[in-house]
């Protein structure tokens, strides 16, 4: 949630309307927030679990899944916007 709050703050400061698309930030805000919080709370565990390749996969796969599921939800009429 902290990542989402931070992204919303940045959205407003850059003049975007509520619900407007903000590529990459919309897809990664919650992941980055969770990773930062984990580094602060359990740095040893974070370093042993989130190796370079694992972080790369998380940062590449998350946006793909996020965009794919949102487009699918839009195509099925479950969302008003495809983002």
Tens-digit pLDDT profile for residues 20-54: 878 888 888 889 999 999 999 999 999 999 999 99
**1-5, 56-60, 75-79: segment of lowest average pLDDT:** 1-5
What distance lies between CA 59 and its chain's CA centroid? Answer: 9
Radius of gyration of the chain (CA): 15
pTM of the predicted structure, to 2 decimals: 0.72
Distances in Å between the alpha carbon of 2 and those of 6, 9, 18, 22, 53?
Answer: 6, 11, 18, 17, 24
E-strand spans in 1-83?
A: none
Contacting residues for 32 by C-beta, under 8 A, at least 6 apart: 3
Domain chopping of the chain, boundaries: 2-75
């Amino acid at each position: 949630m902290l990542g989402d709050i931070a992204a919303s703050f940045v959205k407003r400061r850059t003049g975007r309307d509520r619900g407007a698309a903000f590529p990459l930030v919309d897809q990664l805000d919650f992941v980055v927030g969770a990773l930062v919080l984990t580094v602060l709370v359990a740095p040893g565990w974070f370093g042993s679990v989130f190796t370079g390749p694992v972080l790369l996969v998380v940062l590449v796969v998350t946006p793909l899944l996020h965009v794919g599921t949102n487009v699918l939800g839009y195509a099925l009429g479950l969302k008003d916007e495809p983002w």
